[in-house]
Amino acid sequence: MPQGTGRTDAGVHARAQGVLIQTSRVWEPYRLLAALNAHLPKDIRVVAARPAPEGFFPRHHAVAKRYIYRLGLGPAEDPLAAAFRWHVHQAAPLDLTAMTAAIPPLLGSHDFSSFRCADCAAKTPVRTLHGIRILPVEGGVELVFEGSSFLMHQVRIMTGTLVEVGRGRRQADSLGEVLAARDRTRAGLTAPPEGLCLEKVWYEARWGMSEPCPWGERD
């Protein structure tokens, strides 16, 4: 049974999904890569294959992840990017300064119950968020989230809440209270899945499957 680094919501993309498989014989990596891609649907591709150390499991040994949420801005949606962006229709530009000012209360280790969906089955709502960056790009904005792990819909809810700040519908200094409330109804909307992509995963250094995690390995 294949084991992935983690689950992504329907409609969410991934560039860095690590998948462990067991084969009945030894394969040369490039031949295994070609064989897998010959049978996978065209919207899924294996870009690298390598032997895994005995005892390595991508889900258990991931110590940090980077997600990017892509927003499309402007008067009209770009049809070529629609499958990978949330186009935010707005009468005035998003206030990126206010969105940036709203971020600090979310950083660090907290109970993120206000930013988890009702169906989240995680045993604990406590997560560690290492950083959030807001990067203007051509045609829109990228929100970069880096953390130890994330609750179901956490990034999408944080994105929706920050967009509400950018639209002037929520005060930039309100997110500390939202976080402390531990109440999903206090946060903003859940952003659509299409704009979200898992971009990078860091694993425990002892396995040699990624470069060392810049924030250390455990909380």
The per-residue DSSP string of 131-187 comes to: EEEEEEETTEEEEEEEES---TTHHHHHHHHHHHHHTTSS-GGGHHHHHHHT-GGGS
Cα separation, 191 vs 56, in Å, equals 33
Q: Would you tell me how many other CB atoms lie within 10 Å of the CB of residue 57?
A: 14
Cα separation, 146 vs 150, in Å, equals 9
Please determine, looking at this structure, whether the domain spanning 61-198 carries the CATH number 3.30.70.660: yes
Give mean pLDDT in consecutive 10-residue pieces for the chain, a chain of 219 residues. 79 90 90 93 92 90 96 90 92 92 98 96 95 95 97 97 96 98 97 96 92 84
Q: Which helix (H) or strand (E) holds 39?
A: helix 29-39
Sign of CA dihedral 15, 132, 214, 21: negative
Cα separation, 167 vs 181, in Å, equals 22
- Residues 153, 162, 112, CA angle at the centre, nearest 5°? 45
Catalytic center residues:
9
Contact 37, 46 (CB under 8 A): yes
Query: Which residue intervals of the chain bear CATH 3.30.70.660?
Result: 61-198
pTM as predicted: 0.94
What is residue 75's predicted lDDT score, i.e. its pLDDT?
86
What is residue 219's predicted lDDT score, i.e. its pLDDT?
53
* Among 130, 117, 125, CA closest to 189: 117
